[in-house]
Structure 1
Amino acid sequence: MKNKIIRLMVTLVLLSSINTVIAQDNKNVLVPLPSVDDFTKGENGWAFGLGLGVEYESAYEGSDEFGFEAQPAGAVQWRNDNHIYYFAGEAFGWRSLVSDEWLLDAVVGFDEGREKGDSDDGRLDGLGDQEEGFELVFQARRSFTPDWRYWLVGRLVAGEEGNLGLFGIGQRFGEQTDGTGSEVNLVVVVHDSEYANKGFGVNEEQSAASGLEEIKLSGGIRSIGLDYNYRHNINESWQLYGEALFEYYSSEVRDSPIARSDYEAEVGISVIYVF
């Protein structure tokens, strides 16, 4: 009995030491996830990351056309302990580690909409242009381990033309806890009928102008997706960030004449300078 107690005490001490090391290694980032940028290096106050990325992606949702596009990368951030407020691209956001297991993120941004010129092959002719609009994005992640090795993720996108939800699981690879390494998320995406028809619906007027068959979607499951993220510190100031997305559409979405492909895909790489 005495030996069992000693072994238990030793185990508890070791676990406590491991958690302490993790906390020390992780003190320079809010959470050790490659998909969550943190340029503050653990310090309160302002932080800046500026860079450029190149993406190879579908021309629009459901497109069978792909192309390269240059995108700005990085963000302006202000950290106050476990809270980070940031401006990235056209989005303003707040991110907070409200406990060791919960990460919350709220963003006000823009939906870029869709223009007929997005298709070089004229696939969108007659469908009209969709204007940009505000959207609110709320995301929560719940980790199962102190080092954020496995987690659940949920996301809600609420916009002027419908709502979209995402639910899934994620895993981080590698031994680093400084925000570098790689991670993967497997998700199920759902949308309401308004959001579904914004991207894939064809009303009577659009059908007459485009020659496409009229269709009205009911909403529900939109797709199953896979998201891979990678981040590497080249040196103290330079970061390399990569992302790959794959989304396989549900049968209802695939039935839309706008969906020329059964899936949507994107691959991107960015180089960021951290000031």
Structure 2
Amino acid sequence: MRTTRISFTQLATVVLFGTHAIGALADASGPAGTAALAPSAAEPATPWKVAFGPGLIVTPQYPGSHELRYIPYPALDISWNDRVFSQGPDVLGLNVLRGENYHVGTSISLDFQSRQEKDDPHLHGLGDVDSSAKLKVFADYTVWAFTGSIALYQDISGHGQGKYVTTDLYASLPAGGWLFSFGPGFTWADALYTRTFFGVSERQSAASGLPAYNTSSGIRDVHLNGYASYDISRHWVASVAVTLGRLQHYAGGSPITERRSELNTLASVNYRF
């Protein structure tokens, strides 16, 4: 039976949203993207894959918000020899180990998760949380049509976002020019992350009127990922990734949280060289 395997760039697009059931993608999709067409027999093989185009992120205004924000961004997908890449929020990454069915690597990744008091009167007195750069360590493995992945994100900007780990499982199905992937996942966050985004200290309680709320490490959310891409032509491809999540434990019970359900969406149209 023919093996159906989701490509690394496609997987990363979905993973980014598995992660960003954690807040926002982000992954503008990281590694962003879209799968490249296989070169025809008449074309010389090249280790480079380059694609870019407009993209749009739809994500909660802040973790636990009932409002959405819309972020246009340039959807980049650049890689060399499936080794070095710059894709979506992964500004620079390296597949340290790679094979036909697996990748293990690291990257410096931008993260859209943030919170500003001006975003919502509900946040008055809580202070701002700036977006941050993350050190990302990831691994994925594919068996037939199923891909398992895990990624750890560590705040390296000193903005109190701690670390979180997202784990996902995907089933992939190609159909003509389409590729579909879907599957469940969950996100674990450490005590620093949950305290920053969902905790309310005594000082914050006095300033905001919200009750004090202590947090610790635990499951942040459970989520379901969906991804679809379509090869419009030899050079153009469109894709959309959607994550539906549900905040759990400290995140779900926080007085800061106005909505436990989360919707994160990334759509892009890329031109491939």
Structure 1 length-normalised TM: 0.77
Shift of 1:69: 2.9
Residue 6 of structure 1 corresponds to which residue in structure 2? none
* Contact 2:171 2:183 (8 Å CA) reproduced: yes
Within the candidate set 188, 203, 206, 2:204 is matched to 206
* Contact 2:251 2:257 (8 Å CA) reproduced: yes
Shift of 1:232: 1.0
Point out where structure 1 has 5 or more consecutive residues left out of the alignment.
Answer: 1-14
Residue 135 of structure 2 corresponds to which residue in structure 1? 136
- Change in 2 beyond 3 A, CA 1:263/1:211: same
Shift of 1:272: 1.2
**Distance in 2 between the 1:256 and 1:60 partners?**
13
- Change in 2 beyond 3 A, CA 1:49/1:31: closer
User: What amino acid is the match of 2:92?
Assistant: F
1:22-73 CA deviation, whole Å, 9 max, x = no partner? 89xx9xx667758464558564344432211233331111001124332221
Residue 107 of structure 1 corresponds to which residue in structure 2? 107
Shift of 1:106: 2.0
**Distance in 2 between the 1:130 and 1:260 partners?**
17
Point out where structure 2 has 5 or more consecutive residues left out of the alignment.
Answer: 14-32, 40-44
- Change in 2 beyond 3 A, CA 1:136/1:78: same
User: What amino acid is the match of 1:99?
Assistant: G
User: What amino acid is the match of 1:143?
Assistant: T
Residue 88 of structure 2 corresponds to which residue in structure 1? 88
User: What amino acid is the match of 1:200?
Assistant: F
Within the candidate set 57, 69, 72, 1:70 is matched to 72
**Distance in 2 between the 1:144 and 1:89 partners?**
27
**Distance in 2 between the 1:139 and 1:52 partners?**
26
**Distance in 2 between the 1:31 and 1:110 partners?**
17
CA RMSD of aligned residues (A): 2.8
**Distance in 1 between the 2:47 and 2:153 partners?**
29
**Distance in 2 between the 1:89 and 1:34 partners?**
11
* Contact 2:245 2:262 (8 Å CA) reproduced: yes
- Change in 2 beyond 3 A, CA 1:52/1:38: same
SS at match of 2:123: coil
User: What amino acid is the match of 2:72?
Assistant: A
For 1:2-151, list aligned pairs within 5 A: 33=11, 35=13, 37-39=34-36, 41=38, 43-75=45-77, 77-80=78-81, 82-89=82-89, 91-95=91-95, 98-116=98-116, 119=119, 121-145=120-144, 149-151=145-147
State how many pairs are aligned.
Answer: 245
Q: Which of these two proteins has the greater Rg computed from alpha carbons?
A: 1
SS at match of 1:123: helix
Shift of 1:265: 0.8
1:257 equivalent in alignment to 2:255: yes
SS at match of 1:174: strand
Shift of 1:239: 1.0
**Distance in 2 between the 1:134 and 1:140 partners?**
19
User: What amino acid is the match of 1:232?
Assistant: Y
Residue 237 of structure 2 corresponds to which residue in structure 1? 239
Residue 165 of structure 2 corresponds to which residue in structure 1? 165
* Contact 1:40 1:79 (8 Å CA) reproduced: no
Which range moved further: 36-45 or 234-243? 36-45
* Contact 2:194 2:215 (8 Å CA) reproduced: yes
SS at match of 1:252: helix
User: What amino acid is the match of 1:229?
Assistant: Y
- Change in 2 beyond 3 A, CA 1:206/1:263: same
User: What amino acid is the match of 2:166?
Assistant: L
1:148-185 CA deviation, whole Å, 9 max, x = no partner? x1122111111243111122321002356x8x511013
**Distance in 2 between the 1:31 and 1:112 partners?**
20
Shift of 1:123: 2.0
For 1:182-221, list aligned pairs within 5 A: 182-221=180-219
- Change in 2 beyond 3 A, CA 1:115/1:31: closer
